[in-house]
Amino acid sequence: MESEELVMVFDKPHFVVKLYKTLLKVDIKEGARKELEGFAESNPHLRDSLGLLFQMMIPLDVQLKEIQTVRLDKKGQVQIVIPNRRDIHIPLEKEEAEKLRDKLNELVPIETAKEDEKTRRAREKIRFDRRF
């Protein structure tokens, strides 16, 4: 992951937001939630099995292609809507929130288009393989 290009970082007292070209990471800095986050990240099978529980307690890494919409909520926090998951709300200063929202709204369609192209190619390959 560290080899992927880092686009922006917001280092807050209790959490760090890192935006990469294909991934958004929100890491908690300290306390029990930090320990739980580390445990969840080191045990992907458990994290997947208990996904909703972990999503409610810890914002996990989000692939940009999974994001449906990004907007600012009534409090000015960045609200990230992901189908079949709990929304993520990131409390940033107004200028930071707007900057993150704008950059996500620029990068998400790119990643979504890449994923759509992969799906289209996979479908074409299946159709081609069925012919022969």
Q: Is 19 inside any structural domain?
A: yes
Q: Is 102 inside any structural domain?
A: yes
Q: Is 92 inside any structural domain?
A: yes
Domain that holds residue 124: 6-131
Q: Is 1 inside any structural domain?
A: no
Number of domains in the chain: 1
The contacts of residue 34 (CB under 8 Å, 6+ apart) are 28
Please give the Cα distance from 21 to 4 (Å, whole number): 7
**Predicted TM-score (pTM) of this structure:** 0.72
Q: Is 81 inside any structural domain?
A: yes
Please give the Cα distance from 57 to 67 (Å, whole number): 19
Average pLDDT taken over every residue of the chain = 82
What mean pLDDT comes out for the span 102-115? 95
Segment 30-56, tens digit of pLDDT: 764 666 666 666 766 655 554 544 554
Residue 80 sits in a domain of what CATH number?
A: 2.30.29.30
Query: Per-residue b/e over 30-52, b at no fewer than 16 CB within 10 Å?
Result: eeeeeeebeebeeeeeebeeeee
**What's residue 94's pLDDT?**
93
